[in-house]
Amino acid sequence: MLNRSRRTRGIAATIAVLALGLTACSTGSDGKATSTSTAGGGQGGTIKVGFSQLGAESGWRTANTESVKASLTAENGIDLTFSDAQQKQENQIKALRDFIDQGVDVIAFSPVVETGWDEVLQEIKDAEIPVVLVDRTVDTLVVDPYVTWIGADFEAEGITAGEWVVENHPDAKIFELQGTLGSGAQVDRETGFDATVGADHIVGKASGNFTRAEGKAAMEAALQAYPDMNLLFAHNDDMGLGAIEAIEAAGKVPGKDIIIVTVDGVRDGLQALVDKKFNYVVECNPVFGDQILDAIKKVHSGAQLPRTTIVFDQAFDQTITQADVDARLY
């Protein structure tokens, strides 16, 4: 039953953990569910898990999917059904309903946006299937919609980016390239950044939906609309990389004429930092499949878990070296 008086949002920080290690494997994402095993649900110690990934929109997402698949293996006692929603909420809702029909033991998912989950979360709850929420947050009227959430502190990432801007470019005229509108990553990065730099420094905003192509298109339009803009805050590396193409095509120098601050720290983003095209990158670590595995096992066994687990992030400026980039795992 829905409690209309209270919304739950997975965001409070209680524990910091550092996600380590990445074993490469192919994502094989085609928008369809793929099962790594044909074993029966929950038998012989195997935990049957349905994982709904929101898409494959960015380098971060690809690394996150690889980490999840490297950890949720038959060797680790998991019978995984993995589904890629291609950034469409209706695909995710369908996948979650399929998991209910399959009678999985645990559902894990990374929600593409925060709202619109009430009905399906209630159905999962009625089916008594525990939920491990991954990466992004939900805003729902369902009481106790998930057992535990593992992800980054997006608001802190926005604040870190904003503090660097205030310290290094206090008079900047900022264009903000937002991620998927209504996603936890967009809402919270924007909240943290805007509060830190001050709204009067932001000359314009547009969404690039966390993709390189849409980031480029949004930047092309912004260069026309806001000719006095001299600093870009992009909510992820991919949009920032797309923006570089637009800036160069307009005859400007990324990293000089337009200072670029991004979030993620994937290898391509850090390479742009070494190449002096990006100026500052706040990390969002995607490699936490081992924490997800641990949470799923504990949830399945009925062990106590923290309500939230925050994945540790750092930040990089142009002092990063080529050797650091070459050593990057994703």
Percentage helix, strand, coil, to 5, in the chain? 40, 20, 40
The SS3 call for residue 291 is: helix
Element (H, E) at 159: helix 154-168
Pick from 82, 109, 175, 210: which binds ligand AHR (CB under 6 A)?
210
Cα gap 59→70, rounded to integer Å: 16
Which x/- pattern over 71-100 shows residues binding ligand AHR (rule: CB under 6 A)?
Answer: ------------------------------
263 binds ligand AHR, rule: CB under 6 A? yes
212 binds ligand AHR, rule: CB under 6 A? no
259-264 vs 231-234, strand pairing mode: parallel
Token pair recorded at residue 20: 């380590």
Total length of the chain: 330
User: Residue 81 or 209: which CB sits closer to ligand AHR?
Assistant: 209
60 binds ligand AHR, rule: CB under 6 A? yes
Q: Interface with ligand AHR by CB under 6 A: which range of 15-23, 57-65, 160-168, 192-200?
A: 57-65
58 binds ligand AHR, rule: CB under 6 A? yes
Classify residue 127 as exposed, middle or buried by CB count within 10 Å of its CB (0-12, 13-18, 19+).
Answer: middle
Q: Smallest distance from the beta carbon of 1 to ligand AHR, in angstroms?
A: 30
Q: Interface with ligand AHR by CB under 6 A: which range of 54-62, 122-130, 137-145, 287-295?
A: 54-62
Question: What's the maximum distance between 2 C-alpha atoms anywhere in the chain?
Answer: 64
Pick from 48, 61, 169, 212: which binds ligand AHR (CB under 6 A)?
61
Residues in region 149-188 near ligand AHR by CB under 6 A:
185
Cα gap 76→65, rounded to integer Å: 16
Crossing angle, helix 267-274 and helix 237-249, to 10 degrees? Answer: 40
Residues in region 226-255 near ligand AHR by CB under 6 A:
236
**Number of residues in contact with ligand AHR, rule: CB under 6 A?**
12
Applying CB under 6 A, the residues found at the interface with ligand AHR are 57-58, 60-61, 135-136, 185, 210, 236, 263-264, 284
